[in-house]
Amino acid sequence: MNLRDLEYLVALAEQRNFHRAAELCNASQPTLSAQIRKLEQELGVILFERSPRGLILTQAGEAAVSRARTVLHEVTQMRDDAAGHCADGARRLHLGVFPTLGPYLLPHVMPRFMEIFPSSEILLTEEKSTVLLQRLIDGQIDAALLALPVEDPHITGRKLFTEPFRLAVPSGHALAQQERLSANALSGQRLMLLEEGHCLRDQALTLCHRYGAREYDGFRGTSLETLRQMVIAGMGLTLLPQLACYEGGSRNHIALLPLETDGFQRNIGLYWRKSSNANDHMSKLADLIADVASELIASGT
């Protein structure tokens, strides 16, 4: 038995689904399934009842999960007490960020970070939001930039900034000549969206349903850059967060249009564990990121 096995156990107890639990643990489903079976054999009890309606925790499973959570919490506390500090006594911060934000914000944040925290070292992890949240809870990272809402009893944090979306259309599209669009302009349009697992996909789908647009059938983008290049090629329309709009140097081939409603935006926050002993450090980091993001959004670049 090791800590990874306990992480698998807790994730499966929370998700009640092998596939989702494996995604949260950044493991393959066969690996997680095999380790759960191995754990059951080692303990000599059945932890999960496999029923037609899904997984059910047995009484032995409930007791094991409770113990596993306690162990993982204590390990996280130990990491928090000792981590945060490099060999020379400087603080080390392991920050998580999701792919539709990191490349467009962090290059502007990092130079300022090194100025304000010259004795600190920062490590970056880029993953989808669900994976980041689980890694944060498990103590594998110290903090994460996430799209709101974030609801977990182990996590605290604060909203940093609001980022508008822009409707990206090919330069030759009928909508491209308008400086600003009403939300009704989306009615009947087909939008290219990201693949499953991206929080931006869920936000875009919500807006599509609200304003009468629909998803472009048969296409799922792996990144914002893929979506941008597909728009430039004339394949369709998409929604881009403002910070991602002016990368790639292709402004002559794409129109990025604001929409006349506050609904086309996402709220970004910085989150860390309630048990962390680095609240002051996190608060300063939050101030820094909020200031940089606000400046970028206000300047339109």
Q: Give whichever of 48-52, 237-241, 255-259, 269-273 has the largest mean pLDDT.
A: 269-273
Of the chain, the percentage scoring pLDDT greater than 90 comes to: 40
Q: What residue spans define the domains of the chain?
A: 3-81, 89-161+266-299, 163-265
Average confidence (pLDDT) over 233-262: 79
Band the pLDDT of 88: cuts 50, 70, 90.
very low
Which CATH number applies to 163-265?
A: 3.40.190.10
d(Cα 290, Cα 138) in Å, to the nearest integer? 26
For residue 300, the model assigns a pLDDT of 72
- DSSP string of 36-49, one letter each residue: HHHHHHHHTS--EE
Q: Is the pLDDT of residue 31 over 80?
A: yes
94-150 pLDDT per residue, tens: 999 999 999 999 999 999 999 988 878 888 999 999 899 988 988 889 999 999 999
For residue 80, the model assigns a pLDDT of 62
Class at the top of the CATH hierarchy for domain 3-81: mainly alpha
Are 89-161+266-299 and 163-265 in the same CATH fold?
yes
Q: Domain 89-161+266-299 is of which CATH architecture?
A: 3-Layer(aba) Sandwich (3.40)
Of the chain, the percentage scoring pLDDT greater than 70 comes to: 92
Angle at which helix 59-82 crosses helix 3-15, to 10 degrees, equals 120
The answer to whether residues 107 and 141 touch, using CB atoms and an 8 Å cutoff, is: no
State how far Cα 297 lies from the chain centre: 20
The answer to whether residues 259 and 180 touch, using CB atoms and an 8 Å cutoff, is: yes
For residue 281, the surrounding DSSP H or E stretch is helix 279-299
pTM of the full structure:
0.71
Q: How many CB atoms lie within 10 A of CB 217?
A: 6
